[in-house]
Amino acid sequence: MPHDAHDHDQPHSLLPSDPALRVKALETLLIGKGLVDPATLDEIIDTYQTKIGPQNGAEVVARAWSDDAFRDLLLKDATAAVSQMGFYGRQGEHIVAVQNTDSVHKLVVCTLCSCYPWPLLGIPPGWYKSDAYRARAVREPRKVLAEFGVTLPDHVAVRVWDSTSEIRYLVVPQRPAGTEGWSVDALAKLITRDAMIGTGLVAGPS
């Protein structure tokens, strides 16, 4: 941190504003006071780093592409469908799956804050929580999509779904051509987080 830019008379200049350092300080304090157990903390961090993330959503979408009965259930009652696969818990209580088609592309936002299907996609990316994305996804979705590298033909309508703490959306992207007969595992590897938010498309095999 460049100290010369600071007013050294201000007490705050003694405390670095680096969030990581502040988190560490809080963690040390809470553990010191016996309010949290470090092993539990490590377990929570490990869960979100390795067990909960877009790979779960990708598995759900790949299965929906491969299994018509599962796809029908997913579109009818996504919470029940993904629970069957072991995906449930915090921020995953009321999930609704919306499917992209040849004529309608879906885009998910939370205009109020940052509601997001955690058990399927993990922790939301920074841009999802930004004021700019939350305002512009509704006002000018095509422009936002273009900035993500998604340009849709004019005949494809864009529909924006606004998440709330009551309903969290998962986009089921379109299955790319050239993947006929692929296994669920192979399909899942193609499916990105952004495709399940609607800010991306699933690219086929090159």
Segment interacting with Fe ion, rule: CB under 5 A, options 11-19, 60-68, 99-107, 112-120: 112-120
Q: Which of 104, 113, 186, 203 binds Fe ion (CB under 5 A)?
A: 113
206 is an active site residue: no
Task: Spell out a b/e string for 164-181, using b for 16 or more CB atoms within 10 Å of the CB, else e.
Answer: eeebbbbbbbebbeebee
Q: Which of 61, 109, 115, 121 binds Fe ion (CB under 5 A)?
A: 115
Q: Compare residues 78 and 187 and give the one whose CB is closer to Fe ion.
A: 78
Q: Which x/- pattern over 68-107 shows residues binding Fe ion (rule: CB under 5 A)? A: ----------------------------------------
Question: How many residues in the shown chain lie near Fe ion by CB under 5 A?
Answer: 5
Of the residues 113, 130, 165, 183, only one is catalytic, namely 113
CA–CA separation, 104 and 141 (whole Å): 13
Shortest spacing between CB 115 and Fe ion, in angstroms:
3
Q: Which distant-in-sequence residues (6+ apart) come within 8 Å of 134 by Cβ? A: 109, 110, 111, 112
163 is an active site residue: no
**With binding defined as CB under 5 A, does residue 110 bind Fe ion?**
yes
Place of tokens 């304090």: 29
Segment interacting with Fe ion, rule: CB under 5 A, options 55-63, 82-90, 111-119, 144-152: 111-119
Of the residues 13, 66, 83, 114, only one is catalytic, namely 114
Total residue length of the chain: 206
Structure tokens at 82: 């993904």
CA–CA separation, 124 and 129 (whole Å): 7
183 is an active site residue: no
**With binding defined as CB under 5 A, does residue 135 bind Fe ion?**
no
Q: Which distant-in-sequence residues (6+ apart) come within 8 Å of 15 by Cβ? A: none
Cα 138 vs. chain centroid, distance in angstroms? 18
83 is an active site residue: no
* CB 171, CB 148: distance < 8 Å: no
**With binding defined as CB under 5 A, does residue 109 bind Fe ion?**
no
Residues near Fe ion (CB under 5 A): 110, 112-115
The catalytic site residues sit at 110, 113-115
